[in-house]
Structure 1
């Protein structure tokens, strides 16, 4: 029971952090040029499987309450975050953990932008990819390294073994 409660608590905290970071900075979080700061959290599946549902729920809430792009963003954006988090949780090489979020969001979110705002797909792939890279490699990866060096944070977060 303790492990299940701890898992749910971690997932809930991650969901809340993702939603708040996204909703707090809407000008950075939505649109053709976006650097969603909350995407830095997509490295957390490296440490805990609780990050997978946590990121899904956080993205779902952020898009439900903040996205000007409509239901398509709520559904596709959330599913993309879930797929990227699940994929990241399976990666064994630390430096590659940010890639699923960058790759999947770079391909899916431009489709949402095209459908919602008629923004051309190919340029959006580059813009979203750049924003994702800044958020995930620029903020998330250093956070990942910091967590690894912090005994207390690593102990609180980690439920996975790495090579």
Structure 2
């Protein structure tokens, strides 16, 4: 398979996995207290740049299918895109890779929850709640995923 086809295939698979995991865990993937398990995949830019469009498209589709409002579908997905780009730029240190999705989503999703969905909690509280969920998904589960992929050499299939 040539490099372009491999890149597109990898991005599509990452997007599909993101969508499926988000929808399967829909009960905890949305609202003011959320642990979006699919966000563990935000470490994949550590292994391949194909994760950047894959995560963006996956988030876009998952937010749409999950019933998110238009502003969330667009801005939440753009936050994921920016976080994936920044994670890719930090790939030389695996411990830094999960940081952009935690910070960016805490800010963007916190604003969306407050000003688009109208949750009554103070903005800073919403941001902290999102950051906690992102920390669990991106840092704890995400770093676990990095270790598993390296230990079992699963990354060879996506690099």
Same fold (TM over 0.5): yes
For 1:136 and 1:95, the matched residues in 2 are separated by 10
The Cα offsets for residues 23-63 of structure 1, whole Å up to 9 and x where unpaired, read as: 11111110100000000000000000000000000000001
Cα deviation, residue 67, structure 1: 3.1
- Which portions of structure 1, spanning 4 or more consecutive aligned residues, are displaced by more than 6 angstroms? none
Partner residue in 1 for 2:87 = 88
Q: How many residues align?
A: 156
CA RMSD of aligned residues (A): 1.0
Residue pairs, 1:18-29, within 5 angstroms? 18-29=18-29
Task: Please tell me whether the aligned partners of residues 106 and 126 of structure 1 are also in contact (alpha carbons under 8 angstroms).
Answer: yes
Q: Is there any run of 5+ residues in structure 1 with no aligned partner, and where?
A: 159-163
Q: Is there any run of 5+ residues in structure 2 with no aligned partner, and where?
A: none
For 1:100 and 1:86, the matched residues in 2 are separated by 9
Correspondence for 2:132 among 130, 133, 155: 130
Partner residue in 2 for 1:77 = 76
For 2:64 and 2:133, the matched residues in 1 are separated by 21
Task: Please tell me whether the aligned partners of residues 21 and 38 of structure 1 are also in contact (alpha carbons under 8 angstroms).
Answer: yes
For 1:134 and 1:81, the matched residues in 2 are separated by 16
Partner residue in 1 for 2:50 = 50
Q: Structure 2-normalised TM-score?
A: 0.95
Partner residue in 2 for 1:31 = 31
Task: Please tell me whether the aligned partners of residues 30 and 67 of structure 1 are also in contact (alpha carbons under 8 angstroms).
Answer: no
116-125 or 139-148: bigger deviation: 116-125
For 1:137 and 1:118, the matched residues in 2 are separated by 28
